[in-house]
């Protein structure tokens, strides 16, 4: 503990000395989340991370999350230095949607408006008309449907299906999934629900339909935290990465939080619901990035400029 506290103090000092701000996601380690709050940074969902990084005066952003989050920050603020604790922290949705295959998919359907989830590479975003995150996807797709546009959606098939069911929009889907949320199981959730009949069920929409259909609240990480804080229930079953429990416990200390079941977490694995790439972020990575300039994100032109258009469209729409 003493060693961890010393590392945290060192990271805080470096953030101050270098005029840097820490922008973290709710899934990263609790120490990093606390460091962000204690040093004037933020912990939030991917939409607010992008907005905060763009609007903050600091010329160095340390983005603790996965690679697409650092890339979005750099695309929005090319003049800033964007560092990440570990550049290898990627995302299965990003990995499962390679640029060339995605471009061929778009080429085959030129009549469709291309909407991509934030969890994609800069090159994929460069090919899109709109970027969305889980906190604004419903709103934006509803608007596109109202305008009579047909949609090409990538890459998360569960989020896409959920949005399609909610809006009735004409959506052609890429077949991607998040390896973390894909593991939540509807049948096991039924059993857990029987043991906790009063519990409110909170589900991130990257989860399969059998889980989403049982939810009281479906939403982004921010929406799920809000549901715990504002909900009248005493118990909450949470179907998303368990890194989020840190913030939920801080904001709603009296409430009982129960991890939703995955294929393995009851018997063999205590924490299956944790993203291996989010877990690559640590205090040491923050120190190394600031001390040695490691983990800097670069996004080359013209990809950056093209990707900027679809991110700005989303930020303007949700402003
Ligand atoms: P949010 O935008 O809801 O924070 O989700 C990001 C993510 O990667 C979920 O797995
Ligand atoms: Fe990607 Fe899933 Fe990890 Fe989120 S939790 S970063 S969607 S792999």
The pLDDT averaged over each successive group of 10 residues in the chain (319 residues) is 94 98 98 98 97 98 98 98 98 98 98 98 98 97 98 98 98 97 94 96 98 98 98 98 98 97 61 89 98 96 97 96
Ligand 2, residues 124, 174, 240, 277: which to mutate, most atoms within 8 A of Cβ? 277
Instruction: Give the model's pLDDT for residue 107.
Output: 98
Pocket of ligand 1 (CB under 6 A): 45-46, 119, 133-135, 178, 206, 220-221
Cα 155 from Cα 157, distance rounded (Å): 6
Nearest CA to ligand 1 atom 2: 46
Instruction: Give the model's pLDDT for residue 264.
Output: 61
Cα radius of gyration rounded to whole Å, the chain: 19
Cβ(174)–Cβ(155) below 8 Å: yes
Ligand nearest to the CA of 155: 2
Q: What is the CA(180)–ligand 2 centre distance, in A?
A: 6
Q: What is the CA(118)–ligand 1 centre distance, in A?
A: 9
Q: What is the CA(127)–ligand 2 centre distance, in A?
A: 21
Q: What is the CA(178)–ligand 1 centre distance, in A?
A: 10
Instruction: Give the model's pLDDT for residue 299.
Output: 98
ipTM of the complex: 0.98
Cα 117 from Cα 45, distance rounded (Å): 13
Cα 279 from Cα 179, distance rounded (Å): 14
Pocket of ligand 2 (CB under 6 A): 66, 91-93, 119, 178-180, 206, 241, 275, 277-278
Cβ(265)–Cβ(180) below 8 Å: no
Please, what are the domains in the chain? Answer: 2-89+278-299 (3.40.50.10800), 93-178 (3.40.50.10800), 181-259 (3.40.50.10800)
Q: What is the CA(203)–ligand 1 centre distance, in A?
A: 12
């Amino acid at each position: 503990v003493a060693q961890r506290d010393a590392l945290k103090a060192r990271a805080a000092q470096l953030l101050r000395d270098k005029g840097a701000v820490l922008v973290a996601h709710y899934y990263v380690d609790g120490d990093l989340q606390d460091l962000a709050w204690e040093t004037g940074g933020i912990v939030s969902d991917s939409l607010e991370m992008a907005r905060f990084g763009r609007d903050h005066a600091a010329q160095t952003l340390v983005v603790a999350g996965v690679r697409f989050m650092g890339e979005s920050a750099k695309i929005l603020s090319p003049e800033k230095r964007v560092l990440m604790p570990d550049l290898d922290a990627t995302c299965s949705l990003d990995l499962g949607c390679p640029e060339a295959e995605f471009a061929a998919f778009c080429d085959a359907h030129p009549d469709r408006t291309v909407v991509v989830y934030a969890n994609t590479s800069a090159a994929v975003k460069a090919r899109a008309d709109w970027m969305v995150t889980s906190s604004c996807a419903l709103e934006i797709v509803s608007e596109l449907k109202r305008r009579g546009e047909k949609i090409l959606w990538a890459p998360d098939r569960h989020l896409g299906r959920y949005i399609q069911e909610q809006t009735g929009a004409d959506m052609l889907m890429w077949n991607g999934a998040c390896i973390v949320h894909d593991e939540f199981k509807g049948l096991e959730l039924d059993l857990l629900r029987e043991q906790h009949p009063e519990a409110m069920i909170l589900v991130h929409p990257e989860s399969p339909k059998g889980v989403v259909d049982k939810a009281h609240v479906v939403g982004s990480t921010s929406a799920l935290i809000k549901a715990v804080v504002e909900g009248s229930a005493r118990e909450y079953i949470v179907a998303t990465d368990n890194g989020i429990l840190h913030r939920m416990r801080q904001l709603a200390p009296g409430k009982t939080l129960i991890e939703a079941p995955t294929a393995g977490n009851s018997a063999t694995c205590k924490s299956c619901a944790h993203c291996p790439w989010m877990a690559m972020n640590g205090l040491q990575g923050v120190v190394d990035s600031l001390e040695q300039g490691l983990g800097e994100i670069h996004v080359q032109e013209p990809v950056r400029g093209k990707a900027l258009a679809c991110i700005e469209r989303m930020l303007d729409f949700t402003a």
